[in-house]
């Protein structure tokens, strides 16, 4: 597999300043819809992204740049359920709360806080007005929807590495989870491609990690002050980094090279073979990460098993 080693890159991902203008008109209504939370938020942002895509690093960064430094973060909410009752963890201004008492956390954050509602491994396309993602809160309850995505090779390497750490999973279990994730990842990239039309803001984790100006532009697009534009600490969710367990600072993570570290892994090679067989997935990857797609096309052209070797 070393013959396919190339530097991954992504096409310039647009950051949509028009999104804030579109959603600002719904801002007052959005705040009113969250009175049952126990605070009147400054802004409410909903985030959707695949796991192992830097979701928590980006959520921590948003909290560090919240208005007046106050934020309430609802982690990994269950799609199709009330996020006020279906979250898996609460943070107030970047600090994990040991209690599941959301009302207490809301009081601590206070009126004017930034509220973040996050989802993993799901898509907006699976929901509609009749079946909202965040009931009883419809799309108008959110000032902006964010799509978090990562380059295919680094994302898939990190996902598989995480699955391999689960002692209850055998190879077939890992590949089943990863194969399902491939389809969702491809559909998420389709939503990223359509972000300008849908009014969502797409955040590429790879570019976010390496480009301080990109991060600054995103904060401006989201109407947030730039208080702390650093990458911040490594987040502990999901066991932290799958590759560097001892890393404390995100800037110390080699997050752009995960695919290189997994190239010799037979399961990773099998996953890449599977992805390479899907022309729709390759096209969607190519729209954001041309070199990733080119590498997959090279894998698709590699010979398969020789039948004589199997008889």
Query: Which CATH number is 34's domain given?
Result: 3.40.50
Does 205 map to a domain? Answer: yes
Is 307 within a domain? no
pLDDT at 308: 73
Domain that holds residue 196: 2-301
Residue 199's Cβ-count burial label (10 Å; 0-12, 13-18, 19+) is: middle
Q: What is the pLDDT of residue 25?
A: 37
Percent of the chain with pLDDT over 90: 71
250: which 2 tokens? 């995100």
Q: Check whether 192 has a pLDDT greater than 80.
A: yes
Q: How far apart are CA 65 and CA 184, in angstroms?
A: 30
d(CA 5, CA 259): 9
Per-residue pLDDT, averaged over 286-290, amounts to 97
pLDDT tens readout for residues 158-169: 999 999 989 999
7: pLDDT confidence band, cut at 50, 70 and 90?
Answer: very low
The answer to the question of residue 310 being in a domain is: no
Write out pLDDT tens, residues 257-282. 788 889 899 999 999 999 999 999 99
Q: Cα 299 to the chain's mean position, in Å?
A: 26
pTM for this structure?
A: 0.85
- The two structure tokens encoding residue 300: 């698709």
Q: What is the tens place of the pLDDT at every residue in 49-73?
A: 999 999 999 999 999 999 999 999 9
**What φ, ψ does residue 71 adopt, rounded to 5°?**
-150, 155
C-alpha to C-alpha distances, 53 to 155, 232, 248, nearest whole angstrom: 6, 16, 18
How many distinct structural domains can be found in the chain?
1
Q: What does the pLDDT average to over 137-147?
A: 95
Q: Which two tokens stand for residue 53?
A: 């895509």
Q: Is 308 part of a structural domain of the chain?
A: no
80, with CB counted inside 10 A (0-12, 13-18, 19+), is: middle
- pLDDT of 21 > 50? The answer is no
Q: In the numeric block, which tokens belong to residue 284?
A: 């969607």
Measured CA to CA, the distance from residue 251 to residue 209 in angstroms comes to 8
The whole-angstrom separation of Cα 121 and Cα 185 is: 8
> CA 189 to CA 289: how far, in whole Å?
10
In a domain, 311, yes or no: no
306 within some domain? no
Do 9 and 286 meet the contact criterion of CB atoms below 8 Å apart?
no
């Amino acid at each position: 597999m070393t013959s396919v080693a190339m530097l991954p890159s992504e096409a310039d991902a647009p950051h949509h300043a028009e999104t804030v203008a579109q959603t600002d008109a719904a801002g007052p209504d959005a705040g009113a819809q969250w009175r049952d939370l126990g605070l009147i938020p400054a802004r409410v942002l909903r985030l959707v992204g695949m796991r192992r895509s830097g979701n928590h690093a980006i959520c921590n960064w948003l909290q560090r740049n919240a208005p007046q430094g106050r934020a309430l973060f609802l982690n990994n909410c269950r799609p199709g359920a009330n996020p006020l009752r279906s979250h898996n963890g609460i943070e107030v201004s970047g600090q994990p709360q040991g209690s599941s008492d959301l009302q207490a956390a809301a009081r601590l954050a206070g009126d004017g806080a930034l509220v973040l509602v996050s989802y993993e491994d799901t898509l907006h396309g699976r929901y509609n007005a009749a079946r909202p993602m965040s009931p009883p809160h419809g799309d108008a309850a959110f000032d902006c929807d964010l799509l978090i995505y990562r380059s295919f090779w680094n994302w898939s390497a990190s996902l598989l590495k995480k699955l391999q750490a689960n002692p209850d999973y055998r190879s077939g279990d890992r590949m089943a989870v990863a194969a399902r994730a491939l389809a969702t990842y491809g559909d998420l990239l389709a939503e990223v491609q359509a972000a300008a039309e849908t009014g969502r803001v797409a955040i590429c984790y790879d570019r976010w990690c390496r480009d301080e100006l990109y991060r600054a532009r995103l904060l401006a697009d989201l109407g947030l002050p730039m208080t702390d534009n650093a990458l911040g600490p490594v987040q502990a969710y999901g066991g932290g980094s799958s590759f560097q367990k001892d890393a404390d600072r995100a800037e110390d993570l080699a997050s752009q090279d995960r695919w290189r570290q997994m190239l010799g892994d037979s399961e990773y090679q099998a996953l890449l073979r599977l992805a390479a067989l899907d022309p729709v997935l390759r096209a969607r990857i190519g729209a954001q990460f041309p070199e990733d797609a080119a590498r997959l096309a090279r894998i698709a052209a590699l010979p398969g098993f020789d039948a004589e070797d199997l008889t």
